[in-house]
Amino acid sequence: MERNSLRARLVERAEDWAWCSLGCREKKLDKRAKLLDDWPVDRPRGWRRALNRPEDERELEWLRQCVRRGQPYGDDAWVRRTAMKLGLESSLRPVGRPRKTREKT
């Protein structure tokens, strides 16, 4: 969500959009920032830089999949740590029932 205004070309940098959480925190807009809760986990390293770099179609699809699955978004190590901390391990497993294995007789 913090990248939406940038994707829509409303701003040059994500933090320039004053109505998003990143903009409120970066610009220290006290009244608005007071309405925001802290993140439940540490932000990934280089979060602002990651938001401001161009995204390709593959990354956008990955992000959409994370939203559909309720899965954390970021690099693999951060995703695993965050999923464990928040009890979201099931969002990392494949969708559906495990395949049955045939027993050899």
Does residue 4 surpass a pLDDT of 80? yes
Radius of gyration for the chain, computed over Cα atoms and rounded to the nearest angstrom: 18
- What tens digit of pLDDT does each residue of 55-103 get? 889 988 988 988 998 898 888 888 899 999 999 998 988 878 777 887 7
* Count of the separate structural domains present in the chain: 2
- What tens digit of pLDDT does each residue of 5-53 get? 888 899 999 888 877 887 777 766 666 666 777 778 888 888 888 889 8
| pTM for the predicted model, two decimal places | 0.58
Q: Which domain holds residue 86?
A: 55-91
Residue 86 lies in a domain: yes
Write the CB contacts of 32 (distance below 8 Å, at least 6 apart in sequence): 18, 19, 24
What Å distances lie between residue 79 and 1, 74, 75, CA to CA? 18, 6, 6
Do 49 and 71 belong together in one domain? no
Do 2 and 16 belong together in one domain? yes
Do 60 and 43 belong together in one domain? no
Residue 43 lies in a domain: yes
Do 41 and 79 belong together in one domain? no
